[in-house]
Structure 1
């Protein structure tokens, strides 16, 4: 069952169809919440986002893709959480999601890759909020510029400029292996 059919069936009251959407997007929603600053509370954010998405499913534009719409709700919930904390949240990143394969019999290569990855993640954490959010959506969550604009509720030009500035800062701080 594709997203359109699952949404139509959900709107008709079929809870198993909505469960299919939840199963399909839970991992991505959780990763989005964690990477945008929810940290240990990502599970709560995702649960609340899915509840809100279900409540507002009737307002979903059927000609639009579901994934960016849902991730926008996740981003809003994450923003609400971090704002209510009253402090800037640390970025939680699962290294396994960003690890590039290194030969297990190459300890020197693994050490170099681990060091490079650590420097990159620390540099991403230090980016200004807008640049960090744009870089995370584009490169860690692998969203298109248009999807990133939808998720963050920004104009497309802001996504492009924030991503460009963020990557420039990362290149300056970490080196030119960042693309």
Structure 2
């Protein structure tokens, strides 16, 4: 499926059609085309150092679920919805893991495993804290809509698809989240000034 300089690059719809027919090279091209935005999505939604694992899992799930993609939205927004879900799964598993680590440390305070995992949890927290401060302070749903609309530059329709919200919810949440973000940024500016 190599293209000569005179060939027009295939669009996502054609690559999806070919990938569904078993053309792995077509799916590789989709992966290459959307890796950067998938990575940005995972990082901005809080995956931190696990972003690469999140997007790898998302691409695998995307391939398995390719038959479910109906083309009602862009492939990119459909894929980023999977990335967002995988990031949410990561947050849930981190919470469970951190709880297990704390319980293990209480049961056996000298446990090297508990100590390593606790240090790992602290380091991961510090890396997450390095994200844009004002964005970090927003509630999760506000952060998600801001990331989609402004960091990933998704259209309103793509944001509706990615987050699974009604169009009116996306519009109102975007407006409220921007107001909150402006307020946080203004307060930070006053504090530094």
Same fold, TM exceeding 0.5? yes
TM-score, normalising length: structure 2? 0.72
Alignment match, 2:40: 31
1:13 is the counterpart of 2:27: no
The verdict on how the C-alpha distance between 1:160 and 1:80 changes in structure 2, with shifts beyond 3 A counting, is same
8 Å CA contact 1:35–1:91 kept in 2: the answer is no
**Mind listing any 5+ residue stretches in structure 2 that lack a counterpart?**
1-9, 99-124, 188-193
- State the shift of 1:158 in Å: 1.6
Deviation of 1:132 (Å): 1.1
Give 1:92 shift.
6.2
Stretches of structure 1 lacking an aligned partner (at least 5 in a row): 94-120
Offset at residue 22 of structure 1 (A): 0.4
**RMSD of equivalent CA atoms:** 2.0
Question: How big is the shift at 1:63?
Answer: 4.4
SS in 1 for 2:142: helix
Q: Which has the larger radius of gyration?
A: 2
Which digits, 9 at most, give the CA deviation of each residue in 1:77-116, with x for residues without a partner?
11111111117x73665xxxxxxxxxxxxxxxxxxxxxxx
Q: What TM-score do the two structures reach when normalised by structure 1?
A: 0.77
Query: Given the superposition, is the C-alpha separation of residues 138 and 62 from structure 1 closer, same or farther in structure 2, using an over 3 Å criterion?
Result: closer
1:73 match = 82
Check conservation: 2:74, 2:158, Cα contact below 8 A: no
The answer to whether structure 1 residue 171 and structure 2 residue 166 are counterparts is no
1:156 correspondence with 2:156: no
2:94 aligns to what? 85
Equivalent residue number for residue 106 of structure 1: none
Alignment of 1:139 with 2:143, yes or no, is no
The answer on whether the counterparts of 1:34 and 1:91 sit within 8 Å (CA) in structure 2 is: no
Q: 1:123 aligns with which of 134, 143, 157?
A: 134
